Amino acid sequence: MVKYFFRRLIQLAVVAFIISVLIFLLVHLLPGNPATVILGPNDTAHNQAVLFKQLGLNKPLFQQYLTWLGSVFHGNFGQSYLNHESVTHIIATGWPIDLELIIISQVVAFAVAIPLALFTSRRPNRPIDNVSTTGTFGLLALPPFVIAPVMVAVFAVSLHWFPATGYVPFTQAPATNLHDMILPSLAITAGSIAVYYRLFRSDLISTLQEDFITMARSKGMSTRWIMWRHAFRPSSFSLLAAAGVNIGALIGGLFIVEYLFAINGLGYSLVLAVQQRDYLVVQGISLVIAIVYVLLQFLIDFIFTMVDPRVTRE
Amino acid sequence: MALGAGSSSLLAGCSSSPSGSSSTTTAGGAQPGVGTGSPVRGGALTIGTIAEIDGFYPPSNHWDTNGFLYANTVFDPLMAVAADGTTQPYLCKSMTSNSTFDVWTMTLRPNIKFHDGSHLTSTVVQANFTALKASALTGPALKQLASVTAPDSMTVVYTLTGPNPTFPSGLTTQVGYVVAESMIQASANTTGTLVPVGTGPFVYDTWQQNDFFTATRNPNYWQNGFPYLDSITFKPIPDTSARESTLRSGGVDMIESALPTTITNFSGSGGTGYQLVDSRTGVIGEPTFAFIMLNTIVPPTDDLSIRQALAKGMNQKEVQTIIGGPPAQPANGIFLPSSPYYKDPDYPTFDPAGATALVNAYKAKHGTPTLNLLTIPDPVEIKVVQAVQQMWEQVGFSVTVSEVEQAEIIDDFVFGKFQAVTSYQFGAVNPDLNYVWWSTTTISPLGSIGLNFTRLDDPELETAMLEGRHTTDQAVRVAAYQKVNDRLAKDLPYLWLEQYLFSEVATPRVQNFNNLVLPNGMKGYSFDEGIFFPHQTWLAAG
Amino acid sequence: MPDDRELKQTGNSARLVADRFPGTAALDELVTAVETEPMGADDVLAKKPLGLLFWLAVGWVGLIVILAIIANLLPLPNPDFQNYNALNAPPSIHHLLGTDDLGRDLLSRVIYGARVSLIVGFVSVAIGLLVGGTLGLISGYKGGVLDVSLNAGAFVLLAFPAIVAVIAIVAFWGQTLWKITLILGVAVIPLLYRVVRASSLSFSNRDFVIAAKTMGASTSRIIFREILPNVIPVAVTFGLLTVAGVIVIEGSLAFLGLSVPLPTPSWGNIIEEGASNGNLQTNPYIMLWPVITMFLLLLSINLIGDRLRQRFDIRESLI
């Protein structure tokens, strides 16, 4: 067991290291640099040189990387070149937003997909099943950048039910926070509903064919009881797998919703930082995102090995 | 926003109309932004802004329209512009010069305290200027400042390298904002740019980057009786549609906008119940313009006939329609037709036939002229460049369009790595503030950094600008800047598009945000292209 | 046969053991769950004709593809031509779908825009399948060091915040249709690698493969004659779903200005145009037409993929 965790830790470290190097190289590839962004049009050759020195940008690349890596190990991710806000602070205020978006959207997705799948898997190919199938595929065909502007136009601008932008931290005002996050979360949820519904339904149908289900039925148990007790648990594994993959994919895609709703999550901050050549912010946030992704995969993996008796570890 | 020195209190500016009027009136028939009834104390004002600022420390941060909005809550500038265009003392008590305009003496007001309790003395002002001069960012603007001394605690003496009657107007800009000594010292650490400590009507409370900024009432503010509000909060909302929606749905009390479409959206029936103030009228000095900048030393734009063809081939009226918003004045120079400085500068008009002829002549010698037009990824700019691309292709150019991020485009400007690029600039209370962009002394070869982005080398223009700076005779001044405008129309480094329109829209509750009265009782220039002073604003009950 | 992996079969579905390298287990579960549709109602359906909905979907995809190909030959106005006298015009006989805020014909722009979406979608997935699929096919069968290292590489690529890479590469390299297609193609390689690998792995342990091995067949013969034909249905299904995904990604990139350069139309940048500058209030048609077209295309692709999956999953009949 300890060996298992230890090996996972090594793998995490290796992946994180590789990604940090790649990101570092990528941002330094970009034309333009923080000095020009800071100085703006009030640029002179002398000033650029001075600023470069002040920011430590005149040192050779690998030295800059090692300096950064060293300070990361001390818990210091550096500051933004533009406004000197500490990167740790940016990350600390940003990640709750992403977490909340993911939680709300996935909860809604499960709340819709699971009951629907439970319902239609017992009536395969009947009209309700076909409608649901097509309907959920339809949801897959409505990406966030389509849903978001329309929702804003309808619910925010016309009906004034929800705000078009804005965010209040949960700890500050829970009700307002949830209220403001509804539209952005719904923009993300559509695709997830489709994925979970399709998967859960097919897995349920598969499980329902199995011998032990037939046996339960022959014993006289009600269908609903069977579904809940015997079909749900095994089938939920594939759902778990899908959740892991889906959330992993979502993490990378949150930026578009954050951008459309002017929410300051990590995705949006990352894109802004790249555009402003704020190297340290980019490196810090990228590293955190990558680590979160890896940990998520590990977690799903671990849960699988623990809960599904049909799966064995080596 | 250019930094630099400007007009003195002796010379009149050029505005004769009331500052920033609009076409929408409030329900009571009152002027928008002018308070009716008696001031109400208390309340929290929320304003949706165009962008987040990058910090509160003048020597190292970059204040544009937005930046000054934030700055005016926690700081005070030494000087301010009056409605008649003159520069008047604001934080300072008086400002006088010697007869040769190269030594300026400033008297401070006694008993003014910063938010941290320290006193405003001449030593503090001196420390501010030392930091400003040492900074890579603000240093160039203060090149004319030879030294700053503090003979006694309430007197500051500025010694310039040469005569400049317009020096005080520079103190209405970023370099005129005074911060506490503790902030200067803290600037060495992280928090230096984050926590503002000034003399202003509001005291810093919270700042959540890209989220909101809040400042609360300063009970010891030196302008007695002000401010009325308990607190002021800024929320940056970069997308203009979202910002407008947030105002309409009640998420904020007031918004700023740099898009002309906001003006149309809040005029007429769309503006019922809102107060609209915009910069179509009442701009003092040179308004901000949107234009296309041409590089005068790379082909094909190094050829004057090509620049003329580009100007003649562009249907300015059509471009203005595409930009949207209210009908715009023709833009043919740095002054609007409504400005007292204005004299028709013979800028080329839309003449596709003439343009095609010029292009054909060029083609015969050099082949088809090709051009890459750059822009930042801004939705309106993108529309504009696509339209301009088609217009130029119709007269014979071969044009491609590229979107370049802000970070990179600044690089392209300073290094001269462009042929044609969209930009907006030149809003200045005093034309001399724009000297650095057009001077022969700020030209650098391609590949080196130079502030004269277009690399325009025109000695006549240079002479005219210097004349405008040094003279004390208003008539000579006006003539000099008209000459500058003529030269620009002749050399064509800029293809003018439209005045860049700023606007403020507020709900009826927000009272008196456009009615600045200066400490000496004069009417102030309240709506300086999107900026306002918040201490005389109040929120009506209800 | 790799000796550090073990297969357990229960009932109809094969579950894989959690590999030495993480991440794949979850996806492999997903793949096998989806691909091994049971002998149940869906299989009954599979024996039936593919259905009206399927053929409608095929029809729509076919229509879009054909229109995109022959766009030049159609009597359409130039999609980039701006008619300043017809800004934001509603649908009429001159402009069947109306015009946008620069006076350009929307029908023409949507059809030309289809080219971008189809090319970006299909070619990038083709790249992904070619590279990722081949690697996955081989890796799933051979296992060993190759498998572990490719898995590691795929995992790193997937953990990488792709948006940074896209912004950086586009800024540095340039922004043309083919460059963007290539970038996205590289981005989907790890996805398709994992899917094909999981499928290849599950087939590698089947009787018919073991039989072939026993009979002395060479590795390449086994891979390409025995395993590949069985993997193709999975590859095609997931490939189709990935096409849908890439078309959506192009749309998101357009919102950041990272799609094809102006004024070339793509569905993504027409939608972006329709959502900005207040166009949604003044001229909702700009956004409406590409959304409807894209919606129907994505829906069709998903339906086709789904039906094909049902059809091809009766593997028992192939053995």
Q: Convert the pLDDT of each residue in C8-34 to its tens digit.
A: 222 223 233 332 233 455 555 555 544
CB contact under 8 A, B389 and C81: no
Mean pLDDT of C288-297: 93
Residues whose CB is less than 8 angstroms from the CB of residue A3 and which lie 6 or more positions away in sequence, other chains included? none
pLDDT of C36 higher than 60: no
C177 CB-contact burial (10 Å; exposed 0-12 / middle 13-18 / buried 19+): middle
Place of tokens 């000054």: B68
Mean pLDDT of B273-280: 90
* Mean per-residue pLDDT over chain C, rounded: 79
Q: Would you call C308 an interface residue with chain A, using a CB distance cutoff of 8 Å?
A: no
**Rounded Cα–Cα distance for residues B480 and B465 (Å):** 7
* pLDDT the model gives residue B104: 95
Mean pLDDT of C226-252: 85
Candidates A100, A49, A29; CA nearest to A282 is: A29
Ramachandran angles phi, psi of C125, nearest 5°:
-70, -35
Distance to chain C for B422, nearest Cα, Å: 15
Report ipTM (2 d.p.): 0.80
Q: How far apart are the first and last CA of chain A?
A: 11
pLDDT of C41 higher than 60: no
- Which residues of chain B have a CB within 8 Å of the CB of C278? 240-241, 244, 261, 265
CB contact under 8 A, B414 and A41: yes
Mean pLDDT of B215-239: 92
Q: Per-10-residue mean pLDDT for chain A, 314 residues long?
A: 83 88 85 71 63 76 85 84 80 89 92 88 79 85 87 77 72 79 88 84 75 76 71 70 80 83 84 85 90 86 67 46
Which tokens go with C177?
């249709």
- Which tens digits make up the pLDDT trace of B155-200? 999 999 888 888 998 899 889 999 999 888 887 665 445 689 999 9
* pLDDT the model gives residue A253: 80
Which tokens go with B392?
């130029």
What are the residue ranges of helices labelled H in B75-180? Answer: 122-134
**Rounded Cα–Cα distance for residues B415 and B425 (Å):** 18
Distance to chain C for B252, nearest Cα, Å: 19
CB contact under 8 A, B383 and C278: no
Kindly report the number of other CB atoms within 10 A of residue B227's CB atom: 27
- Which residues of chain B have a CB within 8 Å of the CB of C261? 400-403
Using N-to-C axis directions, what is the helix angle for C24-35 and A279-307, rounded to 10°? 60
CB contact under 8 A, B139 and A47: yes
Q: Would you call C172 an interface residue with chain A, using a CB distance cutoff of 8 Å?
A: yes
Give kind and range of the element (H or E) at residue B223.
Answer: none
Q: Would you call C155 an interface residue with chain A, using a CB distance cutoff of 8 Å?
A: yes
Q: Would you call B401 an interface residue with chain C, using a CB distance cutoff of 8 Å?
A: yes
- Which tens digits make up the pLDDT trace of B104-152? 999 999 999 999 999 999 999 999 999 998 876 777 778 889 999 999 9
Quickly state the pLDDT bin for C113 (edges 50, 70, 90).
Answer: very high
Closest residue, chain C, to A27 (C-alpha): C168
**Rounded Cα–Cα distance for residues C142 and A201 (Å):** 33
- Which residues of chain C have a CB within 8 Å of the CB of B398? none
CB contact under 8 A, A45 and B444: yes
- Which tens digits make up the pLDDT trace of C154-175? 888 888 888 888 888 887 788 8
pLDDT of C137 higher than 80: yes
**Rounded Cα–Cα distance for residues B102 and B145 (Å):** 9
CB contact under 8 A, A140 and C299: yes
* Mean per-residue pLDDT over chain B, rounded: 85
pLDDT of B47 higher than 70: yes
Question: Mean pLDDT: which of B185-189, B413-417, C142-146, C291-295 is highest?
Answer: C291-295
Distance to chain A for B129, nearest Cα, Å: 18
Kindly list the distances between the CA atom of residue A198 and the CA atoms of A195, A238, B289, in Å, as whole numbers in the listed order.
5, 11, 55
What are the residue ranges of helices labelled H in chain A? Answer: 2-29, 34-39, 45-55, 61-73, 87-120, 127-140, 144-151, 174-208, 211-218, 223-226, 232-260, 266-275, 279-307
Which residues sit opposite C27 in a β-bridge? none
**Rounded Cα–Cα distance for residues C245 and B178 (Å):** 54
- Which residues of chain C have a CB within 8 Å of the CB of A203? 33
SS3 of residue B523 by DSSP? strand
Rounded to 5°, angle at Cα B469 from B468 and B474: 50
CB contact under 8 A, C303 and A199: no
Whether the link from the prior residue into B459 is cis, omega within 30° of 0, is no
Which residues sit opposite B177 in a β-bridge? B77
Question: Mean pLDDT: which of A219-223, B505-509, C210-214 is highest?
Answer: B505-509
CB contact under 8 A, C262 and B386: yes
Partner residue opposite C82 with nearest CB, options B324, B380, B387:
B387
- Which residues of chain C have a CB within 8 Å of the CB of A259? 255-256
* pLDDT the model gives residue B98: 92
Partner A, chain B 436-455, Cβ-Cβ below 8 Å: 444, 448-449, 451, 453
Partner residue opposite B251 with nearest CB, options A79, A90, A166:
A166
Rounded to 5°, angle at Cα B90 from B87 and B95: 60
Place of tokens 């993959």: A245
**Rounded Cα–Cα distance for residues A113 and A201 (Å):** 9
Which residues sit opposite B428 in a β-bridge? B286
Closest residue, chain C, to B406 (C-alpha): C171
**Contact of C293 with C265, CB cutoff 8 Å:** no
Candidates B72, B116, B104; CA nearest to B91 is: B72
- Which residues of chain B have a CB within 8 Å of the CB of A51? 136
**Contact of B377 with C276, CB cutoff 8 Å:** no
A142, A146, A147, A237: best to mutate for the C interface, most C CBs within 10 A: A146
Whether the link from the prior residue into B300 is cis, omega within 30° of 0, is yes
- Which residues of chain C have a CB within 8 Å of the CB of A33? none
CB contact under 8 A, B383 and C80: no
| Percent residues over pLDDT 70 in chain B | 92
Which tokens go with A92?
């600390």
In this prediction the pTM is 0.80
Give kind and range of the element (H or E) at residue A135.
Answer: helix A127-140
Which tokens go with B103?
């030594």
Which residues sit opposite B421 in a β-bridge? B293, B374
Quote the DSSP letter at residue C129.
I
Q: Please tell me which chains touch C, using 3 or more CB pairs under 8 Å as the contact test.
A: A, B
* pLDDT the model gives residue A314: 39
Place of tokens 């941290």: B116
**Rounded Cα–Cα distance for residues B527 and C137 (Å):** 68
CB contact under 8 A, C101 and B383: yes
**Contact of A196 with A110, CB cutoff 8 Å:** yes
SS3 of residue C186 by DSSP? helix
Q: Please tell me which chains touch A, using 3 or more CB pairs under 8 Å as the contact test.
A: B, C
Q: Would you call C165 an interface residue with chain A, using a CB distance cutoff of 8 Å?
A: yes
More confident position, C170 or B350: B350
Partner residue opposite C302 with nearest CB, options A137, A153, A199:
A137
Q: Would you say the C-alpha torsion A203, A204, A205, A208 has a positive or negative sign? A: positive
> How would DSSP label each residue in C148-165?
HHHHHHHHHHHHS-HHHH
Mean pLDDT of C219-236: 81
Partner residue opposite A202 with nearest CB, options C22, C37, C164:
C37
CA atoms within 13 A on the CB side of C106: 30
* pLDDT the model gives residue B155: 94
- How would you list the strands of the sheet with B289-294, edge to edge? B398-403, B370-375, B420-425, B289-294, B494-499
Kindly list the distances between the CA atom of residue C150 and the CA atoms of A299, C24, C197, in Å, as whole numbers in the listed order.
21, 11, 10
Q: Would you call B378 an interface residue with chain A, using a CB distance cutoff of 8 Å?
A: no
Q: Would you call B267 an interface residue with chain C, using a CB distance cutoff of 8 Å?
A: no
pLDDT of B444 higher than 70: yes
* pLDDT the model gives residue C1: 28
**Rounded Cα–Cα distance for residues C93 and B272 (Å):** 37
Closest residue, chain C, to B400 (C-alpha): C262
Q: Would you call C15 an interface residue with chain A, using a CB distance cutoff of 8 Å?
A: yes
* pLDDT the model gives residue A78: 84
Q: Would you call B188 an interface residue with chain A, using a CB distance cutoff of 8 Å?
A: no
Q: Would you call B499 an interface residue with chain A, using a CB distance cutoff of 8 Å?
A: no
Quote the DSSP letter at residue A59.
S
Partner residue opposite A206 with nearest CB, options C38, C252, C287:
C38
pLDDT of B291 higher than 60: yes
Ramachandran angles phi, psi of A120, nearest 5°:
-80, -20
